[in-house]
Amino acid sequence: MDPSYDSGKVAEIHRHLHSHLPSEPALRVKALESLLVEKGLVDPAALDAWIEAYTEEIGPKRGAAIVARAWIDPAFKSRLLADAGKAVAEMGFAGQASGHLKAVENTDGVHNLVVCTLCSCYPFAILGMAPAWYKANEYRARAVRDPRGVLAEFGVTLAPDTRIDVWDSTAELRYMVLPQRPDGTEGLDEQALAALVTRNAMIGTDDLRGAA
């Protein structure tokens, strides 16, 4: 055996290389994508444009813009809470997923949490692609049974007297949370406020009050 051979170092390199490999589902998706492109069934440019749209344009940026507008415009906020679908359409974000949308507002006494117990209904046109944990059985079950415990695992600790309302999304009615505006943001404009809004805050698993 080569005296310079270090089994520990080789094992470390092996672990390092594997830690940078995509997950098995990601590899399968990539293989499927390559096969479809090779057979001419998918235009790679169109696929890239679709991914970019949901990541950079649609994604949670639309929802963040809606939240920021509600923070600075009381009249828009009233319309959003009264009929979210129409208010969203005002901003040019109307779509199938936003047509059955209800906005629920966090306050000092109430915190809202969104879940879909039967599947993973989600306003993707407003919040982007649903996170993996939102679709997981554990979240879907525990969010209803133990919402306070679930929120604590996301780092959201609420006062004992804060009421938690859990909203169950369906294909007919989907929810987004209007989070509370972070403290100390009085001087920020709409664009700067939107940059503070997270997807999780619009699901209810994030608290933005200390984000500024």
Report H helices in the chain. Answer: 7-19, 24-38, 44-52, 59-72, 74-82, 84-90, 124-127, 132-135, 137-145, 147-153, 190-194, 199-203
Question: What is the rounded average pLDDT for all residues in the chain?
Answer: 84
Give the pLDDT score at 51: 61
Say yes or no to pLDDT of 10 above 70. no
Give the pLDDT score at 133: 92
38-52, 89-103, 124-138, 141-155 — most confident range: 141-155
Query: Does the active-site annotation cover 23?
Result: no
Residue of 4, 34, 78, 116 with catalytic role? 116
Query: Does the active-site annotation cover 116?
Result: yes
Give the pLDDT score at 171: 84
Query: Does the active-site annotation cover 34?
Result: no
Say yes or no to pLDDT of 88 above 90. yes
Angstrom distance (rounded) from CA 189 to CA 176: 22
186 in the Ramachandran plot: left (φ > 0), alpha (ψ -120 to 50) or beta?
alpha
Query: Does the active-site annotation cover 119?
Result: yes
Residue of 19, 23, 34, 121 with catalytic role? 121
Angstrom distance (rounded) from CA 130 to CA 179: 18
Among 87, 190, 206, CA closest to 152:
206
| pTM, two decimal places | 0.75
**Residue 1, both tokens:** 């055996």
